């Protein structure tokens, strides 16, 4: 009963978060999954496509697709890996760096008002509990 409503609450909050994310990203015409990839790339720099996939928790084939789209928009580029000719390195272009930074900024101010609305103590609590859930087996 209680768990039931917990799950429901979780689901409701997730939905709101998704809606907000979508709205925040609109100005850049970047989808949520693309923005996640930009985030990984700006945190890790140049990485192999397979590593990108791993960080995003998606199949390598799916990463190929995300990278295709970002490349078409000129936000990332593929380079050969000098140490392994099978592999491709993916890196942000200058435009990609700028976009990633702008999005990061926007999320911090606009998008996450949801969390910002909590008082600091509650935010800490929430973070603690989420990390418990994250690591529970």
Partner DNA sequence: CCTCATGGTGAGGTAACCTCAGCGTATCGT
Partner DNA sequence: ACGATACGCTGAGGTTACCTCACCATGAGG
List residues binding its own copies (CB under 8 A). Answer: 2-7, 9-10, 12-17, 57, 107-108, 112, 114-118, 122-123, 125-127, 129-134, 136
| C-alpha dist (Å) from residue 7 to 2, 10, 15, 133, 137 | 9, 5, 12, 13, 18
| Tokens representing residue 29 in the block | 């015409």
- Closer residue to DNA, CB minimum distance, 7 or 122: 7
Which one of residues 7, 9, 16, 84 is an interface residue with DNA (CB under 7 A)? 84
| Tokens representing residue 58 in the block | 């998606």
Task: Give the separation between CA 122 and CA 99, rounded to whole angstroms.
Answer: 31
The entry of its own copies, DNA, none near residue 93 (CB within 5 to 8 angstroms by kind) is none
Which one of residues 20, 55, 78, 107 is an interface residue with DNA (CB under 7 A)? 78
């Amino acid at each position: 009963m209680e768990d039931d409503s917990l799950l429901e609450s979780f689901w409701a909050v997730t939905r709101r978060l998704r809606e907000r994310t979508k709205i925040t990203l609109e100005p850049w015409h970047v989808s949520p999954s693309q923005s996640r990839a930009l985030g990984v790339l700006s945190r890790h720099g140049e990485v192999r496509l397979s590593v990108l996939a791993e960080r995003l928790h998606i199949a390598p084939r799916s990463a190929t697709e995300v990278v295709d789209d970002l490349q078409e928009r000129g936000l990332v580029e593929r380079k050969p890996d000098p140490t392994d000719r099978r592999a491709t390195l993916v890196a942000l272009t200058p435009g990609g760096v700028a976009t990633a930074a702008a999005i990061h900024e926007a999320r911090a101010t606009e998008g996450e008002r949801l969390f910002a609305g909590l008082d600091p103590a509650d935010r800490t609590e929430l973070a603690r509990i989420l990390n418990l859930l994250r690591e529970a087996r």
